[in-house]
Structure 1
Amino acid sequence: MDFYYSPGSSGCRTVIMTAKAVGVELNKTYLSVRKGETLNPEFVNLNPQHTIPTIVDDGFVLWESRAIAIYLVEKYGKDDSLYPKDPQKRAVVNQRLFFDMGTLYPAFSKFYYSLFRPTKPGTLEDYKKIEDAFQLLNTFLEGQEYVAGDHLTVADFAFVATVSTYEAVEFDIGKYSNVSRWYENAKKVVPGWEENWEGVPQFTIHRRATHNMDFYYTPGSSGCRTVLMTAKAVGVELNKIILNLQEGEQLKPEFVKLNPQHTIPTLVDNGFSIWESRAIAVYLAEKYGKDDSLFPKDPKKQALVNQRLYFDMGTLYAAFSKYYYPLIRTGTPGTQEDYQKIEAAFEFLNTFLEGQDYVAGDHVTVADIAIVATLSTFEAVEFDFSKYSNVTRYYENAKKVVPGWKENWEGLQAFKKRVQERLAEHKKN
């Protein structure tokens, strides 16, 4: 198994620890990002997104560290302990993985990377996001020895990679007693801890649910629309509860008790609470889907779905929010560099869709549902993606074949109306 990596990358270290846990030997090939080795044509041919880590397993190519970790466990693990088959247990692992990618690690990169590069320094607000992320992790770990249940999972590997990177920059983890306790234990029980630390950069069944499934949401949110479409696909009825974020309803104690991260969408299924839209979508598909078509059980097919879900969250939607949210909030869009990230994300997606009708295989999956929610959000702000022929072709077909498109479109109109109202207010001012 070929493994393209850089030792300092936390994602690469996540894969190394996972490989150690399942007994897989990696044929390591070091790539220097600074020297542009990830842009070599032979590597881009393997991974058009030209990111590390990337594995090649008997011709099967996969990137995104968390997707790789799940793949390794499902294909080579002796049992399902590291990535449980039980939908609820797996959903918690997925939520933690998305939290690591979408909250904990981005907080690190936003503040600390600016200290090592000739860019604008991180702000006090950026540092506060780190503290908030650690406080949330501290809450998740209350009374827990592991981040996603009562035993070690791939979520622990990902968090160990990230938290050890914080340790390297001397962030005071000790202020967060549960995190500190978990981390000290993780150093003893996580396979491959030594390899991780050596690499750390030294910085100078189908059921219908009605009243028992509460869905906290706002119609315009792309994440909420992802869940609405997935619920439609599996035939689940949601007891919809709109939260007004502008009035702070997500901060009410009763909601924070359900979701200490106080984010939407949040689903409560017969007492089981889960948030992060893509984790919810996978959970609904696994627990209520008639078959595994929306989220395949085959490790390779599932790995592709996971990779596209992480791409949607970490690249495509992240690019939208960076450029367009400042426009909605202040009347001034993000920078030209931010806009170029959108174009780069669309180029990647266009490449993924070459000769493909769907983003992760030969039929609709939850990855299509998530990416359709994001693409329609771009459409709402009139982003012109007609020059991306594969994306345009895919999107037009998706409107016809993705379940719940009507519900998505209705919610999108609410978002579009709010955008127009805010932009009109900015013009008046």
Structure 2
Amino acid sequence: MAGPIGTAPADGTRPAASGSNYGPALTLLASLFFMWGFITVINGTLLPHLRSVFDLNYTQTTLIESVWFIAYFFASIPSAKLIERIGYQKSMVVGLLVMAAGALGMVPAARIPSFEVTLTALFVIASGITLLQVAANPYVAVVGPPETASSRLNLVQAFNSLGTTLAPLFGGYLILGRTAGGTAEAGRVLTPAERLADAQSVILPYLIVAAVLVGLAVVIARFPLPAMGQATSRVAREERKRHSLWRHRNLVFGVPAIFIYLIAEIGVGNLFVNFVSQPDIGNLTNQQASNYLFLLWGGMMVGRFVGSALMQKIPAETVLAAFSVGAFVVMLATVFTTGPVAMWSLILVGLFHSIMFPTIFTLGIRGLGPLTEEGSGLLIMAIAGGALVVVQGWLADRYGLQPSFLLTAACELYILFYALWGAKPTRALPDVQAVPQN
């Protein structure tokens, strides 16, 4: 990623940067984390809705989420270039407005209705979120002392989880709760008239989302967000030429760790409603199942607050290893049990997944020094791993939905490997820390 997120004054001194200087900025950034978490997890209720409206199989259903995460691959580099050109604050405003445009695109998609237009609108929303991710994650990581970066990012990501916790309730009430498909028993085939009415039920929720995004864009545009110094970015670029990203093991193995983790997280979130609705698991309607999805994401929020506190005293990689073992165990229970045990095991994986993304991210950029910006960009690009959730959709169609979660269990083992060995820095450079522009 390009852009001066970690700089020092040209005379070589480093002004003290206390966390209190950035308190208001971090509070505002927490609202961004909340919104993109909220919108991303609306897909958890949107997918079973679209599955019934367009009569999709599991492969086609998960293809929707693949399109969403492909946006991270294509939009990350352009986002970094935009940040370099217009700065962080204006880029955040642009990102929110792009998201709002995509949300408004869901209106014609629902009125037609059109699966292709729906995919396009979701791609636009995801592109806006990518721009926010490229700016906000590394900003939070370098805005304070390097040794507490994992704790700080987990804390702010907890507000992302607050958004993901509330989104299923919003989507369950305004989408699934107002549709024939969302309130019908499993296996019921909708009439064409019911499908048309169900398709148009997403109009109101996405109009509300678009209005909130535009309002937040106005607030950020007027907020005195600290600007990172531009004068030393040329010095940083010259310094970067003497180093190679590929000599840093924690980054080399961290990029696939983010990629693989996203397969696990998105597979669980997107197939959760379908899984717990099955007669031999929870025997619920889609609307009822969405209320339990609330608990899955709520566990992620709780886990991030707990993880942030633990990492004040315990090394981040140790906490990550423990959580990956817990995730592996509950995924095996999900696959090899039935009824409430299988359902609650899948809910519990949210608690163990909670710290994984922010912890892997901060471990991945640890010791990169002047390479922090490029390393951050690669890690954000790796979020495109969520697109491979379509693999789990294919496994579900071919072997069954429950056995498909063995893929998730395998992902947890790679995270364990990363925590135990891959995250150890090699050729570590002095960590950078952001300082406000005078």
Q: What is the TM-score normalised by the length of structure 1?
A: 0.30
Q: What is the TM-score normalised by the length of structure 2?
A: 0.29
Higher relative contact order (CA 8 A, sep 6+): 2
